[in-house]
Structure 1
Amino acid sequence: MSACRGEIDVDDEIPRLFVWCVGDHEPTETKYIEYGIEEEGVPWDVDHGHDGNGVDVAYRAATDSALKIGVSVTTDSRIVVHHRQLPSDDPMFDVLEVTPETARRLGSNSARLAKGTPLKPIE
């Protein structure tokens, strides 16, 4: 696991948005998502080893996050950003063709959702 403030203590109660990776490793796009989140100053946590499709994993991450935001990254580099208050099958973003810049913007937008600030355009 990684986070903007180092390893997470199990008793740590800082609210974070969750980035969950489908499969046993972190795809390379994950670091760009983290760059975008870090730029916005929102705490996050990355975890891998999750099973399911990108939308389901992102929604489960959002339901577990105190900030109500979940991001999933699949083995085929699909990135999904979800909010707990949206229908489980209707994420905020679901992007299949991801460049490093797109991944960074999706990370930034996930943090902006948590802060309630305007989102950046995704191209």
Structure 2
Amino acid sequence: MRSISNNEMQLIARIAEKLATDERTQLMTDAANATVESVVSDESRLIFHIAGYRRPPGGGQHLYGAEGTMLDGDSAPLEVLLFADKDGRLLELEFVRYDPGDLVGPRWETLNIL
């Protein structure tokens, strides 16, 4: 596990700007207290572990009320999805690449939040 990168934190903050006040506050608090685990080698799927928080049993997740797009390092388009668990707590960040191949490395300057 590792700390959330500055780029990841900026992405989360930009999505949080689109949310209602309570949800935005919870998301930013969770991000400030989370570490990251990459569940695939290319880091296209990241799971967040929030200090002192135990996930609810049975799983379940939903998208936050905003998502993004950006380009990969080879200019392939990416979809950026941020998920909460069923209790509304920060859970997962996923970079969806529709072109063949693994994630090269997001070009953070191309991030667009929808």
Q: Which has the higher contact order (CA 8 A, sep 6+)?
A: 1
TM-score range, shorter chain: 0.3 to 0.5
Question: Structure 1 length as normaliser, TM-score?
Answer: 0.34
More strand by percentage: 2
Question: Structure 2 length as normaliser, TM-score?
Answer: 0.36
More helix by percentage: 1
Greater Rg by CA: 2
